Structure 1
Amino acid sequence: MAELPRPELRFDGGCPDCGGRRVRMPEPPPAIPDDLDWRTRDFEGFRAMMLADLARRFPERGDWNPADLEVVLVEVLATQLDWLSDMHDRVMAEATLESARRPASVDALLRMIGFDAAEHRQLSREALYRLWRARPDLLDADRAEGPRRIRRQERAVTLEDHAATLVAHPLVEQAHAWSRWTGAWERIEVAVICWNGEPLDQPLPAVAPPELARRLSRFLDEQGAEWRPPFGEAPSVRRVLRDYLEARRLAGQEVVLRDAAAVGIVLGLRVTVADEHFRSEVEAAVRRVLGDGPAGLFHPGRLAFGEDLYASDFYQALMALAGVRDVCLTRFKRAGRRYPDESRSGRIALSGLEFPVCDGDPARPARGHLRLDLKGGLRG
């Protein structure tokens, strides 16, 4: 740093009361030539630039050799400028995610855009830094994963977005969205088939079934969310889905959830069991195939909305079971006296938002029932 000039007190005219301070300012620095290349970044560039300036300022010197003191100083300055230039490049590189190399910088930039790599890999921050230093390929993988996460569309905009957003939730098997004019604004309505085919206002069980618990755990791990359905409070499916959708709908957009139309199916089957198989084991396998479990023919997510139900699907699934020798369909119709038996045609037509159910609950006959008659086989 240049020293500050010292002021001098002067008395002009011989008057002791007429003194004044005078400051001699330093000489201005030499003007920077117009041909200075500000893009110079390395030792050779700085050295050549300063030697060229020396030759311009002192034209009487015809030759400059490495032993000259001026050349030594030029090379010392060029070395320092090269170091400073490299330091500047390193500091600027740490400011962007694409060029940052230090683990702490990459981690800070990823957290700035909402991606916590330590939480993603379930490590402490110190362990994450050690992992990245030992495995630069994992650092690059996490560097690329962060922007992908923030570019993922999680806001429901179109009708397809609303349906896809709900289908992604473990409590939903099928969803269909449509728009309806209310007289003042457009309202989006979504018909939903829940995980067990129950109505939206049915309370959740106090303890989640194992299969649902696994699906929820996997879903929450993928979403990176800490929310858990309050099973202990027995909320309805509608409340859980409404809270889930509230964070993803557009501001000012009304979204209403509707129950899909469950169609009860009355099914009568006569099954002949092979002689070397136990009847009870075959019956359990048949009921499992005809149930609403993940592999069952009445699983709520097996058929799309309004997709017809065919008897051939039942024949194919049952004849593939071990111990089943013959299958006869004796009853195949919608629940209710006004609907005809379709066992001859082998097809029950569904439409709109309808889907088939066959709960076999005597308290709810409208949701269908199964009459199973087994012949042959071993008792036990």
Structure 2
Amino acid sequence: MDPQYRCDNENRRRRVEAHATLNGIDYLEVLDRTAEAEGLPRQQVLVVQFLKDLPADGDGDAIGTPRVRIEAVPRAAAANVVWARRASDLDSTLVADPDTGATLTAAQVDHFTADPDADRTLVVLTDGTGDYSTYTLRLVNSPTDDRPPPEIDQRLAAVAFSFKAECPSDFDCAPEDECPPERVVEPEIDYLAKDYASFRRLMLDRMSVVAPDWRDRNQADLQIALVEMLAYVGDHLSYAQDAVATEAYLGTARRRASVRRHARLLDYAMHDGCNARVWVHLDATAGGAVTVPAGTVLRTRGDAPLVFETMHGVAARAAHNAIRLYTWGDTECCLPAGATRATLRDEGGLALAEGDVLIFEEVVSPTTGLPADADRARRHAVRLVRAEPEVDDLDGTALVEVEWHEADALPFALCLSAVLGGTDVEDLSLARGNVVLADQGRTVAAQPLAPPTVPASDRYRPRLRDDGLTFAAPFDADGARDRAAAEALAQDPRAALPEAALDDGDEVWAPRRDLLGSGRFAAEFVAEVDTEGEATLRFGDGVLGKAPAAGSTFTATYRVGNGPAGNVGADAITTVVGVGGVTGARNPMPAVGGTAPERLDAVRQFAPQAFRTQERAVTAADYAEVTERHPGVQKAAATFRWTGSWMTVFVIVDRVGGLPVRSDARFLREIRAHIDRYRLAGYDVEIQDPVYVPLDLALAVCVAPGHIRPDVHRQLLIALGRHERPDGSRGFFHPDRFTFGQPVYLSQIYRAAMAVEGVASVEVQRFQRLDDGAHGEIAAGVLRTAALEIVRLDNDPSRPGNGRIEFDLTRGL
């Protein structure tokens, strides 16, 4: 009989123990590592401890094989009793291994019989190791009678257990069932009624109390009209009372302009969103190069198309529409993940140069051979750092060798050719030229402001006539040619400025985030966008920013289109407007970067902490902290050293993805410029790579029955590898999982390995630094590193010095 209750004090055991004749099960132990030490099969020997001595073998009341049963839940692996006998009655005739038929040795018999409690111990051998399910060992009267034996208490005749008791687990105890507290129903009373709806509801509720017989709720009813009129007046009075006090504090302000100004006083830059950017491929007609200027209009498909505009000019050529990749006569080729160079076939007219952008795209499925089945996720933009003509000496084929930024390395393997239906199929993937960067926004030219004329005696706060003003981060088209293609898509909404310019007939006024740094003659303005998207313009007062002259008339040229609506999907852009020689446009990848305006509650939460951000580096910890603000840095450490004539700050950088530091000249220049903004005068800065600690790891893995060892081996390599998995998760030794001074705990390795399907058990046999020998790491359960060291395990045969891992798989299939 299974227990019906969960009790804190189990008095039943003590009462059975005091009973004259009744006996019962005290606990059950599954022998795992202990069984292996004694030469017994692991997880197949159960030791059942009773409260009292058991009858001897041969006695009619003896608890033996026929009276012991193991029950499993549905779909669990079966495990049956081979034999069961009191420990003090064991002998060498019993079979110790059901598979081989080997019998118990004298040492194994002595192991059980030497126990002082051998007379109250029942040893059970099973024919299987079960799985992670919960099993029940039950004592029955006979194989045909499921009742407990008469000498065994019915409450203590069964015990639940797990064959995997010694396997790693995140939990020690079973969850407790707690009785939920009684829910108290409280009346709902709104003491903060401050608007029309709440005033109306409050008065109607009151009328239901004072006039319960009144049932009419028609809108034309006189009482309803009076209630709504009073609610309307109350709403206006309430707003008039609260407006000034409400907008005076960051925590209560409701207008975006008020919240923005309060946050700016705390050095927090509230943003109004950002438009989306996208790489667009232009399809040019045959002939010479077609110049596509900056600001060319692109449109998406549909009845209400979104408008994008090119951010720089490009010379489109028909030869760049589809560029074939050259495999030097080999077949079944691919560009591997992480590739940064390729060979292109020049079929006439290629004019690629450093700074150009190419898009690699799978156009035919490598499995079906159909263009419709091509994987749309296998598209990637790269910025070229080298484009050199080349010739295949074998057959004279004209080629172009191209190389691109490390930051633009292929994130996936790109299949170039395959064998389909016994035929070699090439050009599964192509390179696209004529690539231009575009961002969302429709230009509105020379639009009068509302009102257009500056008054003589009042503040001038005009509005733009169209809602949805575009905000975009500044973009330098020439400087972008020296940076990776991925960087051109990245935008910081807090650095975004309104895409607008004003003209008063004498000069052009430029937008700014605020006028606190503007001089008295600076023709600058601020655009403040409210919740509904309407933009109000604010000018200077002659001290902070130039004041507009009375009577002058302004026109505005600005762009409309902002936020996440611009994050259109791949192939959404289809049309080029006003450019001859270009037949179409498409965006192989989706647009990114479109950001909604910052929520007011988020500003209230984060703005009070903004002034705590230090904008200078004084101590070593300061230098490390400001270095970590760079998006390409995962962690940094810094130390001071006197180098002869001045103090030098040595900054050790752990890059995202484990990329090199000093060997990447572009990143080195970039990180130096980043730190230079914060460093103290008289301090030199030296950038260094981390000290990597390669690991030497060996695991013995027991594969669960029914699982194939090579499959489990492959999954273990992925789980404990350094790469990112297809689902976006990372392998255990991914470079971004470890940083300076971070130890590696043995329990974490066990947990990662045991999470692999098909792994029954794991034992770490070697856990140490590579080529350094063991220093008690397995016994301590941890491998520690110094303050500036980072563990590394690439398991790359071509780079054995970066760490290795070995697996010894047994059992399974």
Q: What is the TM-score normalised by the length of structure 1?
A: 0.52
Aligned counterparts of 2:703 and 2:624: Cα–Cα separation in 1:
43
Partner amino acid, structure 1, of 2:618: V
Equivalence for 1:44: none
| From 201, 220, 228, the counterpart of 2:662 | 201
Deviations 1:296-323 (A, max 9, x none): 4323454453444443332232123332
Equivalence for 2:228: none
Aligned counterparts of 1:367 and 1:329: Cα–Cα separation in 2:
20
| From 691, 714, 735, the counterpart of 1:261 | 691
- Structure 1 position 373 matched with structure 2 position 526: no
Residues 662 and 687 in structure 2, CA contact (< 8 A), matched pair in contact too? no
Q: Answer with 105-114 or 167-176: which moved more.
A: 105-114
Partner amino acid, structure 2, of 1:339: G
SS at match of 1:370: strand
Shift of 1:357: 0.8
| From 168, 172, 177, the counterpart of 2:633 | 172
Partner amino acid, structure 1, of 2:773: Y
Change (3 A) 1:249 1:147: farther
Shift of 1:289: 2.8
Shift of 1:377: 3.2
- Structure 1 position 332 matched with structure 2 position 767: yes
- Structure 1 position 188 matched with structure 2 position 590: no
Change (3 A) 1:311 1:99: closer
List runs of 5+ in structure 2 lacking aligned partners. Answer: 1-246, 276-467, 470-526, 536-598, 724-728
Equivalence for 2:519: none
Q: Answer with 141-150 or 367-376: which moved more.
A: 141-150
Change (3 A) 1:322 1:168: farther
- Structure 1 position 160 matched with structure 2 position 621: yes
Aligned counterparts of 1:163 and 1:340: Cα–Cα separation in 2:
33
Deviations 1:136-184 (A, max 9, x none): xx77976997786566323333221221222343432332211111232
Shift of 1:195: 2.0
Aligned counterparts of 2:255 and 2:782: Cα–Cα separation in 1:
66
Shift of 1:279: 3.6
Partner amino acid, structure 1, of 2:680: L
Residues 174 and 300 in structure 1, CA contact (< 8 A), matched pair in contact too? no
Equivalence for 1:128: 530
Equivalence for 1:270: 700
Aligned counterparts of 2:763 and 2:253: Cα–Cα separation in 1:
70
Residues 719 and 756 in structure 2, CA contact (< 8 A), matched pair in contact too? no
Equivalence for 2:675: 245
Shift of 1:190: 1.8
SS at match of 1:317: helix
- Structure 1 position 323 matched with structure 2 position 758: yes
Deviations 1:87-123 (A, max 9, x none): xxxxxxx9x9999999778878988998765634765
**Higher relative strand content:** 2
| From 256, 267, 272, the counterpart of 1:119 | 272
Change (3 A) 1:126 1:371: same
Shift of 1:189: 1.3
Aligned counterparts of 1:144 and 1:280: Cα–Cα separation in 2:
52
Any residues of structure 2 matched to 1:1-380 within 5 Å, and which? 117=270, 119-120=272-273, 124=469, 125=527, 127-128=529-530, 130=532, 149=610, 152-203=613-664, 236-293=666-723, 295-303=730-738, 305-336=740-771, 339-340=773-774, 345=779, 347-378=782-813
Aligned counterparts of 1:307 and 1:324: Cα–Cα separation in 2:
27
**How many positions carry a matched residue from both structures?**
251
Change (3 A) 1:279 1:116: same
Aligned counterparts of 2:774 and 2:707: Cα–Cα separation in 1:
35
Shift of 1:254: 1.9
Aligned counterparts of 1:109 and 1:339: Cα–Cα separation in 2:
61
Residues 97 and 109 in structure 1, CA contact (< 8 A), matched pair in contact too? yes
Equivalence for 1:77: none
Aligned counterparts of 2:707 and 2:797: Cα–Cα separation in 1:
30
Aligned counterparts of 2:651 and 2:532: Cα–Cα separation in 1:
48
Change (3 A) 1:155 1:183: same
Aligned counterparts of 1:113 and 1:350: Cα–Cα separation in 2:
41
SS at match of 1:359: coil
Residues 269 and 371 in structure 1, CA contact (< 8 A), matched pair in contact too? yes
Residues 292 and 298 in structure 1, CA contact (< 8 A), matched pair in contact too? yes
Aligned counterparts of 2:601 and 2:534: Cα–Cα separation in 1:
9
Larger Cα-atom Rg: 1
Change (3 A) 1:328 1:101: closer
SS at match of 1:276: coil
Aligned-pair identity in percent equals 36
Deviations 1:55-87 (A, max 9, x none): xxxxxxxxxxxxxxxxxxxxxxxxxxxxxxxxx
List runs of 5+ in structure 1 lacking aligned partners. Answer: 1-93, 204-234
Partner amino acid, structure 1, of 2:695: I
Residues 746 and 778 in structure 2, CA contact (< 8 A), matched pair in contact too? no
Change (3 A) 1:354 1:333: same
Aligned counterparts of 2:673 and 2:682: Cα–Cα separation in 1:
15
Residues 634 and 654 in structure 2, CA contact (< 8 A), matched pair in contact too? yes
Equivalence for 2:346: none
Shift of 1:273: 1.7
Change (3 A) 1:239 1:262: same
Equivalence for 1:55: none
Residues 358 and 368 in structure 1, CA contact (< 8 A), matched pair in contact too? yes
SS at match of 2:707: strand
Change (3 A) 1:267 1:342: farther
Shift of 1:259: 1.4
Aligned counterparts of 2:619 and 2:678: Cα–Cα separation in 1:
12
SS at match of 1:249: coil
Deviations 1:163-216 (A, max 9, x none): 12223434323322111112322221122222233431344xxxxxxxxxxxxx
Higher RCO, 1 or 2 (CA under 8 Å, sep at least 6)? 1
Partner amino acid, structure 1, of 2:704: A
Q: What is the TM-score normalised by the length of structure 2?
A: 0.26
Aligned counterparts of 1:108 and 1:343: Cα–Cα separation in 2:
57
Residues 97 and 143 in structure 1, CA contact (< 8 A), matched pair in contact too? yes
Deviations 1:304-363 (A, max 9, x none): 534444433322321233321122333333222x53486754554533422221112233
**Higher relative helix content:** 1
Change (3 A) 1:153 1:120: farther
SS at match of 2:648: strand
Residues 257 and 530 in structure 2, CA contact (< 8 A), matched pair in contact too? no
Partner amino acid, structure 1, of 2:662: D
SS at match of 2:657: coil
Q: Answer with 246-255 or 317-326: which moved more.
A: 246-255
Aligned counterparts of 2:777 and 2:604: Cα–Cα separation in 1:
60
SS at match of 1:268: strand
Aligned counterparts of 1:308 and 1:102: Cα–Cα separation in 2:
50
SS at match of 1:325: strand
